[in-house]
């Protein structure tokens, strides 16, 4: 027998954890930006609708970046209007510069994210800039977004290790986080872009951020699962008080400008753990799994998520 009865974990709460976690779903952006082929716009829109139907309330929809840099998301202008009216769903989009912000504003986006790097190598690979130049590019974006009443997230990549530079010192990460916060970002998402973090490292970074005046309530975690550490790292963050966790349906993802980045933490694996701990997410695991099984069919390969594989037969059967 490969699935638990009813396809749900047994609930056994543990002390010192939040009652509720907000999942910031990144599959449609972080996941699909990394596909070899370009997924048709209507399939992306259907993916976002199904994620919303599964109970996800924050769904990162796309990126308004240079289409030559990320051709997989070059249809942002066509996609966003197809999903922007979903009720009760926050739909953040990535914008690297004022050109990206203009495109997002023109379509009525209410939430944007800039994306910085803790390392020079990744800033160059991802944004064609030094770390300082990238931050200078973001400053007017954040200022104008705040003036328009938008919510602004600041991603920080390579918070734990970098494929070119190796381990990344915690104080360097803290320094860039402070600059993003001083710029006006409402929330910071700590990216383990290549999945090398371990739980003690996560705890150390969160503690040093607090000591530098960055409150836990403004922090989210963004783990990739390259070395199978994403759930352990998430638990460490929850124990520290973090209540916003990024994840990607079916474990889609990676990063086109960091070849050693594999899939993100799978949303289904995260939901299995959170529900097992009695932590509310608002997500219907069966519907979510059925969505990832459906998308895997569209992409022509199975989902890497353990939970999708364990429940997938039942979910696809249920849907048909
Ligand atoms: P650049 O080549 O230095 O651009 O790229 P530029 O500023 O010199 O401008 C060159 C041309 O691009 C100009 O056109 C601009 O108008 C145009 P021209 O005058 O030559 O005709 N342009 C744009 N067009 C459309 N939309 C725009 C835009 N900006 C400029 N927004 C740039 C600099 C930042 C644009 C480029 O490097 C870029 O788009 N990078 C995006 C890379 C990306 O999206 N990476 C993936 C997301 S980050 C990630 O996945 C990590 C994360 O998940 C967290 C984690 O895991 O760590 C968030
Ligand atoms: Mg990522």
- Among residues 164, 212, 221, the alpha carbon closest in space to that of 192 is found at 221
- From residue 132, how far is each of 41, 127, 139, 178 by CA, in Å? 35, 11, 11, 13
pLDDT of residue 90: 98
- Looking at the annotation, which residues are catalytic? 255
Per-residue pLDDT at 314:
47
C-alpha 52 to ligand 1 mean position (Å): 28
Atom 7 of ligand 1, residue of closest alpha carbon: 97
pLDDT at 255: 58
**Of 113, 130, 191, nearest in space to 159 by CA:** 191
How remote is the C-alpha of 121 from its chain's centroid?
21
d(CA 139, CA 182): 10
Give me the domain span that covers residue 208. Answer: 22-314
Does 221 sit in the ligand 1 pocket, CB within 6 Å?
no
> Is residue 93 assigned to a domain?
yes
CATH (domain of 176): 3.20.20.70
Length of the chain (residues): 320
Looking at residue 253, what is its pLDDT?
83
For ligand 1, atom 49, the nearest C-alpha belongs to 255
Q: Is residue 273 part of a domain?
A: yes
153 lines ligand 1 (CB under 6 A): no
7 belongs to a structural domain: no
**H/E segment holding residue 125:** helix 120-127
Number of helices (H), then strands (E), belonging to the chain: the values are 11, 11
- For residue 11, is it within any domain? no
Structural domains of the chain, count: 1
The answer to whether the beta carbons of residues 52 and 272 sit under 8 Å apart is: no
Closest ligand to Cα 191: 1
Q: Does residue 16 fall inside a structural domain?
A: no
Determine if ligand 1 sits within 6 Å of the CB of residue 159. Answer: no
CA–CA gap between residue 147 and residue 141 (Å, rounded): 10
Ligand 1 mutation pick, 34, 65, 193, max ligand atoms within 8 A of CB: 65
Whole-number Å distance between alpha carbons of 81 and 68: 21
**Ligand 1 centroid from CA 65, angstroms:** 5
Is 88 among the domain residues? Answer: yes
The verdict on residue 84 lying in a domain is: yes
Residue 5, pLDDT score:
56
Residue 260's pLDDT is 55
Atom of ligand 1 nearest to the CA of 127: 37
CB of residue 257 inside a 6 A radius of ligand 1? yes
Query: Which positions of the chain have pLDDT values less than 70?
Result: 1-6, 254-261, 313-320
Using one digit for the tens of pLDDT, what is the confidence trace for 117-162? 999 999 999 999 999 999 999 999 999 999 999 999 999 999 999 9
What is the residue whose two structure tokens read 């992409």?
A: 299
What beta strand segments (E) does 193-243 contain?
219-223
CB-ligand 1 contact for 154 (6 Å cutoff): no
Task: State percent of the chain over pLDDT 70.
Answer: 93
Across the strands, what pairs with 115? 155
In a domain? residue 161: yes
């Amino acid at each position: 027998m490969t699935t638990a009865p009813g396809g749900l974990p047994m609930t056994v709460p543990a002390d010192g954890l939040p009652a509720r976690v907000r999942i910031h779903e990144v599959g449609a952006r972080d996941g699909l930006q990394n596909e070899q082929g370009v997924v048709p716009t209507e399939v992306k829109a259907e993916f976002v609708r199904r994620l919303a139907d599964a109970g996800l309330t924050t769904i990162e929809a796309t990126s308004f970046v240079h289409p030559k840099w990320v051709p997989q998301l070059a249809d942002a202008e066509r996609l966003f209007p197809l999903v922007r009216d979903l009720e009760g769903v926050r739909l953040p989009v990535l914008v690297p510069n004022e050109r990206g912000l203009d495109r997002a504003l023109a379509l009525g986006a209410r939430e944007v994210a800039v994306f910085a790097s803790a390392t020079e190598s990744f800033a160059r690979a991802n944004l064609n800039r030094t770390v300082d130049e990238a931050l200078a590019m973001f400053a007017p974006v954040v200022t104008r977004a705040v003036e328009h009443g938008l919510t602004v997230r600041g991603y920080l990549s390579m918070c734990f290790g970098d494929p070119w530079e190796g381990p990344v010192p915690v104080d360097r990460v803290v320094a860039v986080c402070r600059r993003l916060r001083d710029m006006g970002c409402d929330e910071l998402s700590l990216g383990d872009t290549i999945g090398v973090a371990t739980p003690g490292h996560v705890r150390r970074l969160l503690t040093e951020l607090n000591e530098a005046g960055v409150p836990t309530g403004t922090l989210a975690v963004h783990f990739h699962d390259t070395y199978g550490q994403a759930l352990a790292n998430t638990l460490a963050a929850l124990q520290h008080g973090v209540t916003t966790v990024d994840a990607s349906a079916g474990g889609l993802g990676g990063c086109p400008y960091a070849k050693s980045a594999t899939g993100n933490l799978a949303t289904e694996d995260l939901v299995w753990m959170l529900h097992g701990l009695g932590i509310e997410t608002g997500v219907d695991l069966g519907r979510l799994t059925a969505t990832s099984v459906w998308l895997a069919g569209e992409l022509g390969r199975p989902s890497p998520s353990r939970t999708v594989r364990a429940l997938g037969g039942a979910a696809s059967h249920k849907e048909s």
